[in-house]
Structure formats: C-alpha cells, structure tokens
Structure 1
C-alpha cells in the first residue's frame, strides 16, 4: 500500500471542529482570566462607589437638615425684626411666637434656641435645660463671638454630660431702620440625639452609624459597652479604619469647628462582598467546564447537520439584514442554531419595538418641555403680579412730593423689586436659551446711550459702597453699533453687577474699544474689579449654571447663580467669547469679544425720536381695563389717567364683555390669568362672537413667547408685559397712535 493511501482522511465537520476547539479553548481561557480580573476590579469599584454614595447621602442629609434649620432661623429673625421693639411684654411675646412655631412645624425647629442682646443672654426657650446646659453655658457660647450665618461645631465640656452641638448665629434686624437689635442662636445637639443618628442610619442604608470627634465617639447607634462597640472604638483609636468584618466609611462634616475634626462613620457588612467574590469564582469555573462539554457535543452535530443548518441560519441573517419585517425564522434541527435564529428574530422585533419606544420617549420629552414651559409661565405670572404692584406703586410714589428719607425708602423698595425682577428674568432667559427659543435681533444703536444708562445706574451703587466706578470708552460717541442692543446691555449689566457685588474697596472699571481682527470688527469689553477674586478651580466653574450654590462667599451676596452662565450663552448666540483672569484676593478681569458692524454716522431720525415722543401720544381715549387684581388695576389706571385717558375698570372677563355691550371704547387692556374666563378666551369671544375690532392690548405677567403668541393668535393687537412700567404704557400708546395712522 502506498504512503498516500495510509493518510488518514478527515471530514470537513471534523476539521472545522478541531479548529474551532483550539480557538475556542484559547479564547475561553483568555476571556475567563480577563473576566475574572475585570470583575474583581468592578467589585472594588462598586465598593468605592457605594462608599462615595454613602458619603454623599450622609452629607446631603446633614446639609438638608441644616438648610431647613437655617431657613427657619432666618425666617424667625426676620419676623422678630418686624415686631415692635418697645413691646413691654417682650419675653412673653417671644414665648408665644416660638411655641406657636414649634407646634406647627416641630421638624423645622432646633433642639434649643436663645437670643443675645448687647453681648448678654436676653432670652432662651428653656430646652437647653433638658440637655444639661444652664444659662452660664449659654453665656459661654456668646463669649466665643462666632461669625454670623455660619454653622459651628463646638463642645461644651462644662455641661453634664459634655454637650456636642452644631450652632448658628443670625442677626435680628429692625426692618424700619436697619439696626441690629440682637442675635438669634439656633442649636442642634449631636450626642444623645437618637432620632438624628437613626435617620442617618436609614438614609445611608448602613448597619450602624457613629459620630466621632477627635477619635472620640460622641453618638452611636451601637449600644455602649457591647463587644461590637468596643471593637469599633479600638479601630477608631488605631486610625486605620480597618475592621475584619465591617466596611467603615468616614465622612467629614463640613462646618467650622471650635473643637477639632468632626466625622460621621457608617458601618456595612463585608459578608455580601465576600459571598459575591466566591460565587463569581464558582460560576467562572463551572462555566469553563460547561463550555468545554458543549464544544465536545458540537462535534457530532457538525458531522450531520451543521453545514445545512449553518446555511439556513446565514440565509435568515441575510434576510434580516435587509430589514424585511415579514421574514420569519423557520427553525433548525440543531437546538443551538435554532435558538440563535429565534434570538435573531426576537432581536429584530426588539429594534422595531425600540424604535417605537424612541418615538414614545421623544413624545414624553416634548411633553416634559411643555410642562416646564407651563410651569415657567405660571411662575412668571405669580411673581410678576405682586412685582407689578411693588414697582408700579414705588414708581408713582417717586414722582410725588416726598421727604428725603421717604425718597430713600422708596428707592430701596424699588431697587429690591428690580433685583427680584432681574433674578426672575435670568431664570426665564436661561430656560429659553436651553430650549433654543431665545432669538437675536440686531439693529443699529448708539453705544454711548447704553453707557449713559450704565453710568446712571452703577455710579450711585458704587458710591453707596465707597468704591469708584470708571468708564473708559475708546469708541466714537457718534458711531452706531449694529448688534442686539438688549442682549449686549444684558451682558454688561450682568458683568458689572457681579463686579460691584464682590468689590468692597477700590474700583470697578469698564473699558470699551473697537479693533479689526481677520477682516472683522470686534467690540472689546473689559470689566475689571478689585474684589475678592477667584482661584483656578472657581474660574473653571463660574460659567456653569447655579455655581453660586458651591461657594459660601459667593452665596453671601445673593443672586440666582445664572448671570455668568447667561452671559456665556448670549455671547455664543452673538458669536462672541469671554475669558477671565483672576486670583484669590486680587480682583478679577473679564474679557469679552463680540463681532459687530459699525456705522460711522448717526441717523438723525433715531436721535429725533425722543424729542417727538410726547407728540405721538393719543389723548382723550376711553379705555376698558379688564383686570382681577386690584393693585394692578390701580397702577394701570394711574398711568393711563396721567396721560389723559379715561379708564373704566371691570374685575372679570365676563363683566368686561357685558360692559362692552353697554358702551363704546377706544381701547381694551386685557389681563390673562383671571378666574372663570381667561384673557385669551375673552379675546377670542370679542373677536369671533361679538365681531368687534376694538384694539385689544394684552396686559399679562406671562412672558414666554408661546404665551404672547397665543394671545396674538386670539386677536390681541399688542402685548404689555408685567410688571408695568411707565415706559411700557407710553410705548403702547405710541403704538396705538401709529396703528391708527396706518
């Protein structure tokens, strides 16, 4: 027999099996090792993430609790500041006030509170006695002279037992004079506070919780003198926080401390992690042997049906790849291939279902956006309605015969209302920017006019703080800038407001210039201050929204935390950019670049508009005012009557419609948010049922574009936004007369 005849023949299935078996074995070993290592790392990362999450939960719970106590304290201090300082029965008044507060909201009340007047204990609620603290101990707290509006941790070692407390001091200010009457102290006890420790244990999902000061346990969910308590105490004293059967996580409490480091320790069992590791090892070993057994069985299947089954499966896969929704897998005699085929079929059905879910998710997102818009509209209305009264009445009072002190008080009231309006506008602008609904409108304007307004506003503000306000304008005063005047002014206001707020001495300087860069004219704006400055970490975050919540120093001066985020977004819309140079304690400089177009000559028609403004006002109009809010109606009537308009006020939409049937009017001022029938519904009724063409001016606190568009679609001719200012009324009257001419 020849040598060639003794060669052993092998079937295709056998050759395929051998190749697959070798490759499969190598891959299996490699994947097993890699998976094991990956899983161990995953377990470690999960433990680390769990500990971080626990720390976050503990920190958030503590911050939330302190925030509630802080809000309650600030509210109490404000309320006490509004009360009569000459009250002869002051102590009883305090007792009644705080007992009523604790009865209505015990969770929001501190463990004990007391009041300091002239560095002396004036009053306490008596709860300190239950904690072993006498009046001498409270006086000792006063002598420490802690900063106001800051939470402190302190230990009172003269108490029996030693008292560990978190305490905060806030001033009681007389609202009429601004004088500090005294200080209100709120305190929360840490040791022997079973409820607080239990809540920490529940929130952090831990087996046990301890509060530690300088390695000393001051509060614990573990009973004292037990074996576990002594074991944990020993671990804490050794400072390694390693326990054979517990995972110990330390979370430092971020408050000012007068008595060393304060931490919260959470304890969790290690048994779950050890069991997870063991189960994984067993599953890996078992899976390895199962896969080898399956590989052996596959050989027999290859010898009989594998080629046919494989071709069938490949054909089905090819059909599926063509996305034919009518294709169904016909099955296979090989179980594994049959499963694969049906899995492919199920997967194909799931791409379809996923696509449908995607459509549903998109619809839900659109609905969420609508809900957000509705909420912002409602919020805007609810805030702008009282603001309308505040700003309107204060504007009218400023024009009346007042004393110097009264004018000062009215100016403070008006400035406060304007600040609240600015914060509200920041929130709405940021929301519109997020939804890509804020449009840029570029028109020629004199930059010098904007600077006059800025100078008129910020020079007095800086004078009040004892700092200098400097404007260095290198641009021709007669030049016209083609850009969005409103948004550019908003950018300047936000930057200058921040500079003034954070500068206590020195100056705030605004520098403007025009330069040509890459065949494009760039407006350069530099805003420099000598304020508190920022470190590198703060500079990296200042253009993020709500960043003020991260800084106590920034939070001290107030604000929405959206100003610089809005500046950044507005500059993006204007194709501009902004950068900052600062150091902590050394002031800040913000550099802004905005592409603009420059017109060398001033349009005399623009300059002449202000001189002919009053000639554009109509006179002798009969106005029907439909407004359910009495203060808003009073302000609108006052402004209208000032310019010779006769006003008939109706308190509801239905009353207004009835009055419209009885008399004739030249103009209708229509509020929107009214009971029974809204202003939009009333406008539709007047236009479609009564067939009336009387001009209707919407008079609404809804500032979102969708709300305004809905009013205009209903038949309104003009939209006036609350809070109503005198210029808003004048602009509306000019629009009325110009409309009548056309």
Structure 2
C-alpha cells in the first residue's frame, strides 16, 4: 500500500472528543443561527415599530398644530360675525383685533391671514409680504375656490419665491341674520420653515427632518449644503441608493393637495442596531469558548470512566485474537461492556473452532479442485488419443480414391468424431471458464470455411429428423475475417445443436451478415427454428450453467445445460452479445453480434500460400517422432510424409533420447504422457543434459493451459494439440520456416 493510502489513526479519546466537539458545534451553530434569526427579526420589528412610532408622532404633531390653528380660525370667524358691517373703522378694527389675539397667544396664530368678500381680497394682515406673497398671490389663492373648513396643501407659484402652504377657508357668518359676510383664510408656510422642521425633529426624536414635495426638499432641519444634506438629496433623487449609517422614514401627510404629494422624511441613526450586532458577535465568541470548555470536560469524564473500561476490553480483544491465546475476560464495572466482553469471549471460542473447520474445508476444496483438474486432464488425454486416430485416419481416407458411398461413410465417421470433439471441448472450456483460464486466439480465416463445416454436419442431422436446414450467407465467400475461428465455430455448434434438438418439424435456419459502421464491423449470426419455444419467465435463466427450461417436452430431450452458458461466456470474451425471442409452440430466434475486422477479397481467391510468410513449405527435414501410441504415430508420419518430411519413430522418451545421442535431427515431435518418462521430462533432459537446441514441437493431447505452459517452460518451441489435423501440421511447418529464416 502506498503512503498516500495509509489510513490515519487516532485514539478513542480523541475520536470521542472530536465527536462531542462536532455535536456541540452543530448544536451551537444551529442555536446561533436560530438566535440570529430571532435577533434579526426582533431588530427588524423594533426598527419597524420605532419608525411607525415616529410617523405617528409626526402625524399627531401636525394634526395637533392644524387643530389649534383651526380652533383659532373658527373663533376668529365667529367674533368677526358680531361686528358692525357698515363701520367706517372696519379695517382698523380688524388689524386691532388680530394684533390683540396674536399678543395673547402667538403660538396659536397662523403665519398669515386674509379675508375674502365677494370673491375679492378684502383684507390681509400684511405678514404675507414678508413671505414674498403679494396681494395678487392672495387673489390667486381665492380664485382656487377651495372647499370651506378643509385644510389644503397648495403651491403658490406667482410668489417670490414659490410658496408651499397649508391653507384653510372658513365662512364669516352674521350671527343676527345668518348671512355669510365673507371668508377668513388662515395659512401656514412650509418652505424654509425652520421652526416647524425643528419642532418636528424634537417631537419625533429624529436626527433630522426634511419636508419633501414631489421629490423636492422644501424645508429641512439640516444645514443646506452640508455633506449629510447632499447625501439625503442624492437618495431622494435616486431611491436605489442606500445610506449605510442612516435609516430613512417617509411619512406621507394625509391632507388634501392641489399640487402633488407631500411627505416628511425623518432620519434615524443605525448606532443601536450596530450595538446589537456587536453584542451578538460577542455572545457567539463566548459560546464558542464555552463549547471548547464543555468538550474538554466531557472528554476528561469519558477518558476517566468509560475509556478505562473500553481500553480493558480492547486489550482483552487484542490478547485473545493472538494465535493460540487462551485467556478469559476479567469483567467490567460497566454492565454493557461486561456483556460485550463475555460475548466476545464466547465468539473467540467459536472462531478458533471455525478457523480450524475453515482450514479443513479449504484443504478439501483444494484437493477437490486438483482431483477435478487431474480428472479432466486424464479424460481429455484418454478421449483425444483415440479421437486423433479416428479423425486422422478419416481425413487421410477422404483424400484417397474411394467410391461415392465410401466417401459418404468416411464423412459421417469424420463428422461424428468432430461432434464428439466438440462435446469434449465444451466440458473442458466450461472448466477453463470457471477458472478464468480460457484464452481467445485471433487469426485470419475465411468465414465460408466455417459455414461449409456447419453445413456438412447439420444438413444430414436435419435430414434424419425430417426438417429443413437453411444457411443464408450474405457475406462474400472469399472475405477474410479476424476473430477466433474455433470459438466462433463453437458458438454456432452450440446454438444449432439446441435448435436441431428441440425442433421436430419445420426448419432450422442460420443467417449470416455484416453490419459495417466506419472501420468497425459487426458479424450478425441469427439462428431461427420452428421448435418448442421458450416461455418468457425462463428466458432470463437460460444462459446460466446447468439450467434447462422446465417444460416437460424440453426435459424429454435432455442435455447437460452447458451449451448456452458457454455461448454467453465466449461472447463476453469476444466482446459480443446475444439475445433471444421465443414463443411457446412457435419457435425461437437467437441473435448474436460479434465485433470483427474484415479484409475484403481480391480478384484472386486467397490461398494458404498467400496467407503465410513463405509460399513454400520446408522440405527434406529429418524429423524424430517420439510417440507411444501406434495409431497416433501412423497419422503423424502420414501427414509429415505427405509434405516430403523424413520421419523416424521412437516408441518411448528414453529410446528417443538414445537416438538423439546417435544422430542429429532438424525437428523433434514430442508426445507428453508416455510410460517411464513424460515428454516434459524428456524435453528438460534434452535441453539440460544433451545441450541440444533442436526445435521441439510438443505433440500432445493435454489441452489445459497449465500443461502447455509447463511444456514451453521445459524448453519446447511450439504446441500441437491432438487430435491432429492437416492444418495443424501446416501451421507448425510455417512456424518452423519463419523461425529458421529469422535466425539466419
């Protein structure tokens, strides 16, 4: 294991401390967040309440001020209604009356007054002149014809400067007759009214007051031109701006307006909010240190009490797990740990026993595997040896002058041997698949050769059952494909064998085609039959080993249940796939796809010579054949002599070694399983004792990879597997020619 993958270790005390710290941290964070939310909500509610209170104070003060002016105005109008209308000193009397009233209660007096009679200005107190309002300005107010006894906000734009005023009109009624003699106007000036602004500031407990009309500041308690005034002015002109240290509270005035909106802007500092936030931060820091203190305290308690018991339990576990340890748990003062310790003690006892049983079972399994492997090796050798004679002799006989009937009989004999070889290969292949030892050997071959072999085997089988066998080949007969010819043939054999086995009438059809997509080609193999069919519930299990469909009709046919499992495993090795569609009583269709590469055929059909490095085979070689079986020796000699090779045969390994002491040879064909000395032992002796480098080709019925690897390790140069075929001999001779040429 690399250093980067080493697991970091920590003591149990540290782990508990970390766990407690994490738990308390989570709780603290949760409580902090909750407290923060509550604090924020409380602050927001407090700010909102404060602003609402400020607005209420401003509104109440304004209403109170207007109510006082209204009472004074109504009293004055009533008093004026008692005077003589035809008095020559009328004007003088009015001025004296209002002067007397203002001297008694100046706070209750408006900024200016005037009287209207017959829609004309009759009298004014002269204060309007100090505010820049002429008699024409007052007449323009009269011309507005406002309702009586109602306060209005009005902009008088024909004054210098423009005047923003609160104004109220009330009738002067003659008490004796009830006739309206005229109207008394009371007005309060708003623009640049510092006294009014400062009174609002004091009443609302604000840091500043500004009176806003249609986005324009008309009065302010702030000094005009100051930095604070400019900041407020910029915010009023651009509402998206925010002042970081100020809270702006707009209080709209609920007064009838003839000239747009009117509101009072009060300013509040955020000092209180900042103080609350600082207190909150201090509380979080304090909570963190309290958390650490609690975690350390709890760690100490755990280490002092619980960890002592845990360490005792861990020490017992460590001692008890040692080999041949025979100790007892002494117990613990903590009930739970005491119970765990006793359970562990019992478990350890049962594990010494289980371990011994496991060793015995493992030894038995290894022995069983070895016995199985030995049995398969012996069975393979014993079956392949006579098969070598059957296939070899039948292959040689087919090349002689025979009658048509004799050739037919020889073909049937040869096909039967091939079928028996296929069954043997199925058993061995499944064993190798189970042990993950099966290899895929890619080579170039003509696909049509495989189809001809299949046609030769399954046409007579189908004819015997009275069904039709059809091959539909959509691939060029001369195209070369690169794949494992043996495994491809094996896949087709298994699929077609099942199709023929379970079909009693109709046909079995093999369809072959290529699906080319760019540089990649897919070989499509479709096997269709009109047999018994498979129910949908069984289709998902049919590729498992030793499984047969539970249908009574299918069970009658029999079989080992290995065929489809081998097909699926071989397709996995070839990166292929298989799927099935089937219906009971109708038939089944198997669809196989295998990725391959294709070499398109030229005008001249490929030949063995064109597919190999050399166009001529080596001739006049002196070959020593070491083989204890006469029929196998006969077949090997026949194939060698066919290609002009001189063969000497020795019946045992010892006899072969003695012959090598007397004479040199160009090639040695070595069988393996022979009496007294095996071929592997003889190969080692030739290499180590005789110091001969003569090429040794193993000629053996042992097809397991272990046997081949052992032969090559002993010094063999090439492996020929029985039963021997003509192609195997040709491949071996081509290999010999290419290796000799490379040396020289």
Deviates more, 1:325-334 or 1:372-381: 325-334
Q: How does 1:588-603 map to 2 (within 5 A)?
A: 588-594=588-594, 596-599=595-598, 601=600
Once residues 416 and 567 of structure 1 are traced to their aligned partners in structure 2, the CA distance between those partners, rounded to angstroms, is 21
**Separation in 2, partners of 1:551, 1:390:** 37
Q: Is the Cα–Cα contact under 8 Å of residues 445 and 485 in structure 1 kept in the other structure? A: yes
Aligned equivalent of 1:647? 647
Aligned-partner SS, 1:616: coil
- SS of the equivalent of 2:578 reads strand
* Corresponding residue for residue 331 of structure 1: 330
How has the CA–CA distance of structure 1 residues 364 and 482 changed in structure 2, closer, same or farther, with 3 Å as cutoff?
same
Alignment match, 2:99: none
Give the direction of change, closer, same or farther, for the CA distance of 1:519–1:640 in structure 2 (3 Å limit): closer
Q: Are the structure 2 counterparts of residues 418 and 522 from structure 1 closer, same or farther at C-alpha, using a change threshold of 3 Å?
A: closer
Query: Do the aligned partners of residues 381 and 455 (structure 1) sit closer, same or farther apart at CA in structure 2, a change above 3 Å counting?
Result: same
CA contact (8 A) 2:617 2:737 kept: yes
Matching of residue 664 in structure 1 with residue 670 in structure 2: no
C-alpha distance after superposition, 1:519-547 (max 9, x if no partner): 97544322111233334465454323334
How large is the Cα RMSD of the aligned pairs? 3.9
1:713, distance to aligned residue in structure 2 (A): 0.7
User: Structure 1 pair 362/649, CA: closer, same or farther in 2 (3 Å)?
Assistant: same
Q: Separation in 2 of the partners of 1:558 and 1:411?
A: 27
Moved more, 477-486 or 708-717: 477-486
CA contact (8 A) 2:520 2:597 kept: no
Matched-pair contact (CA < 8 Å) for 1:620–1:645: yes
Q: 2:596 and 2:663 mapped to 1: Cα distance?
A: 52
CA distance in structure 2 between the partners assigned to 1:340 and 1:652 by the alignment: 69
Out of 305, 311, 314, the residue aligned to residue 310 of structure 2 is 314
Tell me the residue number matched to 2:619.
619
Moved more, 560-569 or 315-324: 315-324
- Contact in 2 for aligned 1:331/1:342 (Cα 8 Å): no
1:619 to partner: Cα distance: 1.7
1:410 and 1:645 map into 2 onto residues whose CA distance is 26
* Structure 2 partner of 1:565: 565
Asked if 1:677 is matched to 2:677, the reply is yes
Aligned position for 1:344: 344
CA 693–410 in structure 1, closer or farther in 2 if over 3 Å, else same: same
Matched, 1:607 2:606: yes
Give deviations 1:378-397, integer Å, cap 9, x for gaps.
Answer: 11001111111222222222
2:402 is equivalent to residue 402 of structure 1? yes
Paired residues, number: 435
**Residue aligning to 1:576:** 576
CA separation in 1, counterparts of 2:490 and 2:506?
Answer: 24
C-alpha contact (below 8 Å) 1:469/1:507 kept by paired residues: yes
Partners of 2:540 and 2:332 in 1: CA distance: 63
Q: Tell me if structure 2 keeps the 8 A contact 1:389–1:631.
A: yes
Partners of 1:738 and 1:332 in 2: CA distance:
79
The answer (yes or no) to whether the contact 2:503–2:530 under 8 Å persists in 1 is yes
8 Å CA contact 2:609–2:616 kept in 1: the answer is: no
Could you tell me how far apart the structure 2 residues matched to 1:564 and 1:637 are? 39
Instruction: Deviation per CA, 1:413-439: give whole Å up to 9, x if none.
Output: 222221111110000111111111112
Unaligned runs of 5+ in 1: 1-306
- Alpha-carbon distance change, 559 to 652 in structure 1, aligned in 2, over 3 angstroms: farther
Stretch of structure 1 that moved more, 468-477 or 352-361: 352-361
Partners of 2:680 and 2:552 in 1: CA distance: 45
Aligned to 1:382: 382
Query: TM-score scaled by structure 1?
Result: 0.52
Q: 1:443 to 1:661 in 2, by over 3 A?
A: closer
Secondary structure of the equivalent of 1:673?
coil
Q: Which residue of 1 aligns with 2:426?
A: 426
The 8 Å contact of residues 392 and 724 in structure 1, kept in 2 or not, is answered as yes
Which entry has the higher C-alpha Rg, 1 or 2?
2
Match of 2:173 in 1: none
- What is the Cα deviation at residue 501 of structure 1? 3.3
Indicate how the Cα distance of structure 1 residues 673 and 588 shifts in structure 2: closer, same or farther if over 3 A, else same: same
Answer whether contact 2:422 2:490 (CA < 8 A) is retained: no
Question: For the structure 1 residues 423 and 361, does the alpha-carbon distance in structure 2 shift closer, same or farther, using more than 3 Å as the test?
Answer: same
- CA shift at 1:685, angstroms? 0.7
TM superposition shift of 1:459: 4.1
Q: For the residues of structure 1 that align with 2:473 and 2:689, how far apart are their CA atoms?
A: 57
In structure 1, distance between residues paired with 2:357 and 2:693: 48
Distance apart, 1:739 and its partner CA: 1.9
1:716 is displaced (CA, Å) by 1.0
